[in-house]
Amino acid sequence: MNIVVSGSLAYDRIMNFPGKFSDHILPEKIHVLNVCFQVDGMQEKFGGTAGNIAYALNMMGEKPVISAAIGRDYHSYFDWFSRNGINIDNIRIVEEEYTAGAYITTDRADNQITGFNPGAMKYSSLLDFEKLSPQETLVIVAPGNFEDMANYPRAFKDRGIDYIFDPGQSLPMWDAGDLAQTIEGCRILIVNDYELDLLMSKTGLTKKALLGMAGAIITTLGEQGSRISTANAETVVPVFPAKEVKDPTGAGDAYRGGLISGIVRGKTLEASARMGSACASFAVERYGTQEYRFTPEEFNRRLNGCN
């Protein structure tokens, strides 16, 4: 089955400030703030929802298609994808923009100042729907270009293509009616517990009503695992213990990759969610969202409870 990952590609530029921001900001002068923090270096990591989910799917042995836009500084990201055997054919290059980028500075007290440039993410990925076979395609619509998130599900429904809707951090941007329309008919709605509450508040819909619109709701619960809700039952899937938790940032996207891999292999939703949880457990063991690796044997051992 063809897997299409619609979302974002981004560079995460991570910097550490060896002091505390508060020592350099005068509260009485906050209205004329002008500060400079000298950092002790920078790390550049590959990120974005589409990149992270595609990486996880690749680790699971799948061959996803990425539908996203990238800027004129695409070369290092494409080189990374090439070295990992990830297809780049459907990624749109926007030469007049830089790739979306987050510039994250963390101080000694774990306070953060982040600047985000959407860059090429402001442009549609221009997905060619005519190339997608309705019976052989599953799409995940993850946070990225907002017009794509709003428009693509309509096209999928018109063509009978299954899609998973993952609104994530885009939720504040949605009109309640458009959001409900996008949820209507999706195979799975996937959110975390905060996002589910926000979604229900925004739309005025109950969870029962949402389950009448989506085939299932998967709610990720961090250290508590995930919850699968259908019209008939609820099931909690536990986390798989990691050897060491270094960075939880990419866990959600890794979970989605493992989940989708299970679905396209014909596994039950619960079995697929367990695969997602196992994949996420490897992601948190490394610093960065696309830094983890595992062999099929290592994955199966963890999935079977042999860490």
DSSP notation for 29-79 = GGGG-------S-EEEEEE-HHHHHHHHHHHTT---EEE-EEETT-HHHHH
* Separation between Cα atoms, residue 106 and residue 141, nearest integer Å: 30
User: CB of 90 within 8 A of CB of 66?
Assistant: yes
**Encoded tokens for 152:** 């693509």
Catalytic site residue 253?
A: yes
R_g over Cα of the chain: 20
User: CB of 219 within 8 A of CB of 192?
Assistant: yes
Closest CA relative to residue 70, chosen from 115, 144, 121: 121
Catalytic residue, chosen from 12, 107, 148, 253, is 253
CB count within 10 Å of CB 126 equals: 11
User: CB of 72 within 8 A of CB of 94?
Assistant: yes
Catalytic sites, residue numbers: 253
